[in-house]
Amino acid sequence: MSQTTPPDSKIDSPVRSRRELIAWRNAVFAIFFLSGLSIASWVARIPAVRDDTGLTLGGIGLVIFGMSAGSVLGLIAAPWVLARIGARRGMVSALFLVAIGVVIVGLGSTVLAAPAVIFLGMAMFGFGNGACDVMMNVEGALAERENGRTLMPLMHAFFSFGTVAGAGIGALASGLAVPVAWHLLVIAALIIGAALWTIRFIPVRESARDSRAGQPREPWRERMRHSLAAWSDIRLIFIGVIMLGMSFAEGSANDWLALATVDGHGYDNTTGALVFGLFVTAMTVSRVIGGPVLDRFGRVPVLRVCAALGVLGLLAFIYGTETWMLLTGVVLWGFGCALGFPVGMSAAADVDDDEAAAARVSAVAIIGYCAFLAGPPLLGFLGQHFGILNALLVLLVLMVLAGLAAPAARERTKVGAPAA
């Protein structure tokens, strides 16, 4: 990362050096990574938390609900936070909440063995991550625009890299019998230290609306009222449909793919885990290469092709009778849904007003997260009555709808060339 700190002024220069742009981009990469690291660190220690507290599966589900509820509240609050204190302070504050929540979870598990304390920590953890999710995507869209190339898929790939790192560290901590509290305390310290270092490279901006008009900054309540108007944009609703379909497919794979491989196709547990690993790998590869592909062909054609690949992949996985068909289907499934969330975020933020972009990102993020949260229970209910493979047919319908809604993501603002 460049060592040049962007000027800490209230109104940025409209032209940044190449070094400043790279530093800004890398800072956003790091924030995505930290978000993924925090989530995977918790997931990797769920078995240890269960052993510490004696929680049943239902109890674990209730604790996870605390994180989910906190995440939704964070998504809703993010436009207010952004309007009130800006992205730079907002993101570092959100990451501090994440770190504090992680520490509380560790204390509630190892020291107190108190599910209520863990629930509180998870709610704080979820709120911080939900708010940070909106702000880092808004910041990523702005950095993407000024860098002159599509970066959002790669930013989400860094989130995936963070989950891989968090899972690896968590597995190591578990193997060494490190208590949950000590493990999560180290993760929290890492998040805080990295956030304080990284945030220096995020520019401080006034509202784009105010800067263009050359007028004093509007009161935050007025800016909040402008932000809430985002939900009246029909184009934004169709962008939400794209994110609904592809996020539903992604979230359902995270929760049910391994089980569908075992129960639906009769493979063993190890094979189920390997199949899920193949899906995650396909997702990550797609996000790494997605930026240049989007720059070359544009959002709409790429989303249509992704939807088609997703449909083909699901058909191959659901109805395939040979191992190669299942594996091919899983790869196509991963390619099909990998770009939905990042492209939806870019499309939602594709306006000139920073606060409006935050509200739009918040709106589609809520839709996407609802798909993540509602998808697995719905598929579980359908799978119990009709079989898990038949339940996956719901994903086909949603993927088709996402493909049909693809024109809503068409580029609206021209991406400027990077500064020399």
Q: Is 64 exposed, middle or buried (0-12, 13-18, 19+ CB in 10 A)?
A: middle
pLDDT band, residue 62 (cuts 50/70/90): confident
Whether 339 contacts 305, CB under 8 Å: no
Average pLDDT over residues 89-112: 92
- Looking at residue 379, its pLDDT comes to 72
Is position 420 within any domain? no
Of 170, 190, 206, the position where a domain reaches its end is 206
Clarify whether residues 243 and 384 are in a common domain: yes
pLDDT (0 to 100) of residue 210: 42
Q: Which of 261, 403, 251, 396 is nearest to 325 (CA)?
A: 261
Query: Does 417 fall in a domain?
Result: no
Contacts of 82 (CB under 8 A, 6+ apart): 90, 134, 135, 138, 354, 355, 358
Closest CA to 210 of 198, 199, 220, 200: 220
Residues 47 and 196 in one domain: yes
Asked whether residue 217 is assigned to any structural domain, the reply reads no
| CA distances (Å), origin 2, targets 19, 296, 304, 353, 354 | 6, 28, 37, 27, 25
User: Which residues lie below 8 Å from residue 189, measured CB to CB, with a gap of 6+?
Assistant: 99
Q: Are residues 198 and 287 in the same domain?
A: no
For residue 214, the tally of other CB atoms under 10 A from its CB is 6
Asked if residue 251 and residue 187 are part of one domain, the reply reads: no
Mean pLDDT over residues 211-236, rounded?
59
Q: Which two tokens stand for residue 313?
A: 């992949």
Percent of the chain with pLDDT over 70: 82
198: enclosing H helix or E strand = helix 180-198
C-alpha 247/C-alpha 226 separation (Å) is: 27
- CA atoms lying within 13 Å on the CB side of residue 400: 7
Has residue 219 been placed in a domain?
no
Name the pTM for this structure.
0.72
Neighbour tally for 167: CB within 10 Å: 18
62: CB partners within 8 A, 6+ apart: 115, 119
The whole-number average pLDDT for the span 99-120 is 91
Residue 400: exposure state from Cβ atoms within 10 A (0-12, 13-18, ≥19): middle
Residue partners of 392: CB distance under 8 A and separation at least 6:
252, 256, 260, 314, 317, 318, 379
CB contact at 8 A, 168 and 37: no
Single out the residue in 206, 222, 243 at which a domain terminates. 206
Q: Is the pLDDT of residue 190 over 50?
A: yes
Length of the chain as a residue count: 420
Q: 344 lies in a domain?
A: yes
Considering the domain architecture, whether residues 399 and 321 belong to the same structural domain is answered as yes
**Which tops the pLDDT comparison, 270 or 219?**
270
Query: Looking at the structure, do residues 248 and 285 belong to the same domain, yes or no?
Result: yes
Contact 228, 355 (CB under 8 A): no
CATH of the domain at 193: 1.20.1250.20
Higher pLDDT among residues 245 and 141, named by residue:
245
Confidence of residue 15 (pLDDT cuts 50, 70, 90): low
Q: How far apart are CA 310 and CA 330, in angstroms?
A: 9
pLDDT in tens, 255-308: 677 778 877 888 876 677 677 778 878 888 888 888 888 888 989 999 999 999
In a domain, 355, yes or no: yes
Same domain, yes or no: 322 and 264: yes
Task: Say how far apart CA 224 and CA 215 lie, in whole Å.
Answer: 18
Tell me, yes or no, whether 291 and 184 share the same domain.
Answer: no
The reply to whether 246 and 395 lie within a common domain is: yes
Coil/strand/helix, residue 216: coil
Are the beta carbons of 140 and 345 closer than 8 angstroms? yes
In a domain, 213, yes or no: no
292 located within any domain: yes
As for how many domains the chain has, the answer is 2
CA 47/CA 36 separation, integer angstroms: 19
Is the same domain home to 260 and 332?
Answer: yes
Residues 39 and 185 in one domain: yes
pLDDT average, residue stretch 76-104: 88
Q: Is the pLDDT of residue 126 over 80?
A: yes
The HSE-up count of residue 364 (CA atoms within 13 Å, CB side) is: 35
State the residue range of the domain holding 316: 232-409
Q: Could you tell me if 192 and 270 lie in one domain? A: no
